[in-house]
Amino acid sequence: MHSRATLSAHLGALGLAAGDVVMMHASVRAIGEVAGGPDEIHLAIKDVITSDGTLFMYAGCPQYVDEVGRGSLSAEEEAEVLEKLPAFDAERARCDRSHGILAEFFRTYPGTRVNHHVARFAAWGRQAEHLLAPTPWDFAYGRGSIFERFVAMNGKILLLGSDHGNVTFLHHAEHVVDLPDKRVAQFKVPVLENGVRVWRDMKEFDTSQGAHGSFPPDMFSRIVDEHLAATKNRGGRVGNAQSYVIDACGLLESALSAMKTVAS
């Protein structure tokens, strides 16, 4: 069983420090049993980065909220969703379950804030308000996004035993990479306008199928693994989990280069 203090020591050895701006991905199962439960994981990170630092996670939205129009649902399923699904409530809606349980623990912990957008993030710390500033409705991972601000702040990505194919930050690279014929996904999301639920059109460079037809299904994991190898980043253990701290600026540079190479 791991303690909060033990996890903090591991995180410090891994490379986190006071004042860091950190985006976290975590597998609670990979970390192992923690005395006090999953909240001790994000609390251990806060102990290391201190109140001068900032921690955020991708929260996303519950099932079906952003699926109408993507082609992943049958006509019958779409009709039922359009009829029955309530408006998205950024303050109360649960996190995207596919991103693990820690995101929901973190989102609901006192002091955490969220942005009011379907491309939703949860953040805590000194720079939380700046990170969660208004995001463009369309292409929400690109210019003017939380990710653009994160890069400008020399942010760090923390992977705690998580799948390297699930690094959400790389959707920013998909959005800003200069390639012809990028795929645009157009879909509808339920929101409240003047107290009435409406289905509002939204679009992005396709984050579900990949922003370009040349990208293989394992594009993100390839980018992360190649970047770790090129930077000789061997990571370390946090609890039981093989973990890494990655410079966001460096990863973005590697991703843009890799995406252009694949598409050429």
pLDDT for 118-142, tens place per residue? Answer: 999 999 999 999 999 999 999 999 9
CB 60 within 8 A of CB 94: no
Sheet holding 236-238, edge to edge: 113-114, 121-125, 54-58, 21-26, 156-160, 241-247, 236-238
Number of domains making up the chain: 1
- The residue among 238, 237, 223, 199 whose CA lies nearest residue 88 is 199
Whether the predicted model's global pTM rises above the 0.75 cut: yes
Q: Is the pLDDT of residue 86 over 90?
A: yes
pLDDT tens, residue by residue, 12-50: 999 999 999 999 999 999 999 999 999 999 999 999 999
CB 15 within 8 A of CB 245: yes
pLDDT score, position 192: 94
19: left (phi over 0), alpha (psi -120 to 50) or beta: left
* φ, ψ (nearest 5 deg) of residue 81: -65, -45
pLDDT score, position 129: 97
Q: Is the pLDDT of residue 202 over 90?
A: yes
Q: Using 50, 70 and 90 to split pLDDT, how confident is the model at 65?
A: very high
pLDDT score, position 172: 98
pLDDT score, position 223: 97
Q: Using 50, 70 and 90 to split pLDDT, how confident is the model at 247?
A: very high
Mean pLDDT value across residues 186-212: 95
pLDDT tens, residue by residue, 88-112: 999 999 999 888 899 999 999 999 9
What does the block give as tokens for 260?
A: 């252009």
Give the domain extent around 67. Answer: 4-10+18-263
Average pLDDT score, the chain: 96
- The residue among 74, 144, 154, 58 whose CA lies nearest residue 106 is 58
Percent of the residues in the chain that have a pLDDT greater than 90, as a whole number: 96
Q: Is the pLDDT of residue 147 over 90?
A: yes
Q: Is the pLDDT of residue 205 over 90?
A: yes
**How much of the chain is in helix, strand and coil states, percent to nearest 5?**
35, 20, 45
Mean pLDDT value across residues 232-257: 97
Mean pLDDT value across residues 196-202: 96
